[in-house]
Amino acid sequence: MKRRILTLTIAIICMIMCENSVKANGGAPYIEGIPLSFDIQEYIWNTGLENEIDPYLIYAMIEVESGYDAGAVSEDNHDYGLMQIRTINHSWINDALDDELDYLNAKDNIAAGIFLLSELYDNYYDNSGIHCVLMAYNMGEGGAEVLWEEGQFSTKYSKKVVDVYEEIKTKGKAYMFNPR
């Protein structure tokens, strides 16, 4: 009985401390185990919420895409930064955001990735779900459409991102909310 009361008391104290920490940081929790600074995590959190994209999904995509390496460049030299934005997308994203982004700058790369993800959500989420959004992000809309026409609506990549998302959400979340 005493052990239960002690455990319950510790849990309540932890919840209060976590809630106060999240409130003090403008609602953006710092998730230990994610090797990004608080500044970058806060940027992901706030930019994700502003664009109605679950920040935990963004963390999962970054883990899968670049392993949290802001300077990551793909072997073929076509994908850059945390969210591995393909060079074919740079020009139209810059135009759409009315900015000249540096795709190896963490915040610029995240802004571009969230913008691209948001566009894909608008096009595919309601009819096809998260796997189709992730497929289009990873292989381009044309490549994903070929697989959809063949009846394939998930890939190794989309499944991995969803698995990592569930792990991050379970381990590090402060509050639960649905993506979009």
What is the reported pLDDT for 163?
A: 97
Q: What's the domain range around 129?
A: 31-172
| 6 and 83 assigned to the same domain | no
What is the reported pLDDT for 16?
A: 54
| 26 and 56 assigned to the same domain | no
The 3-state secondary structure of 76-144 reads CCCEECCCCEEHHHHHHHHHHHCCCCCCCCHHHHHHHHHHHHHHHHHHHHHHHCHHHHHHHHHHHHHHH
Is 177 a domain residue?
no
Each of the 180 residues of the chain gets a pLDDT tens digit; together they read: 444 443 334 445 544 554 444 444 457 788 888 999 999 999 999 999 999 999 999 999 999 999 999 999 999 999 999 999 999 999 999 999 999 999 999 999 999 999 999 999 999 998 789 999 999 999 999 999 999 999 999 999 999 999 999 999 887 654 333 344
Domains in the chain: how many in total? 2
| 112 and 23 assigned to the same domain | no
